[in-house]
Structure 1
């Protein structure tokens, strides 16, 4: 068994739950040219450095906010590349004012989500479905078409409409996203 040309493969790969830095992936092959034992990965010295607590906190706040990287960066007033620098520890630490802004965004998103969940729990499912149908221009639409848009079985949709069951809040959020996407798609077709 020998290293492939004795050189590092310059391709970034996900291996065994570890993301090596470009230039630190080594392939081990048999004489027949087949990879034996898979690809061996070693993290770069920089990747193994421990991150400052501010980097870890920013990562946690981003995850808790439930929004994407781009929206998060815009919300705290920085560019996407700067956010990436903070998240991956390419800076000594994250400035306090960035952490404070991120915390405020996370808190407001959490409050919005809690408020939305309270509204969801207190609103009749039939009313929610009628709202979706109205936004889609399907007040008299077929249950089959609505269930298809919502990515649920016709049986589940029927149980929702008849008040037999109510989807979990997470499923409601998924359906809300699907309705928004369908409304946007229909508006583009006009």
Structure 2
């Protein structure tokens, strides 16, 4: 069955690769590189939406409610290179059906759209998070609490803004 995909990501190369891969599978694809383009150029078809969390410094979470309002029946998957528990929870609260960390394969993305209901049989990881990962998660939670404002987050954490920026510029710690 042919689906229509809307890819909202500021990385043009990533969009081109993903659009080509979905096109090869028989799907139609529209690409947008920012919030305004996503809302202006998106077709009014039933869609599956791939939304990047970081759109040129703007949070994709701010776009999620507008996409949900425009496409109430659409399945939205948030795809990000900066995955954290705090942003995953917020994305789901705002209407995303799944949340994936980059790099994700096209098969993983397609599976995420296929799994739109909760899975109570999901196994619990017996390994606790590392201290570095817990630190990353805490930074992301406090950043989300302050609406993405780095200066306010730095004040709340009682740390220098540049130090926080350096910490946030690094990729999340892999488990």
TM-score by length of 1: 0.25
TM-score by length of 2: 0.26
Structure with max Cα Rg? 1
Answer 1 or 2: which has greater helix percent: 1
Answer 1 or 2: which has greater strand percent: 2
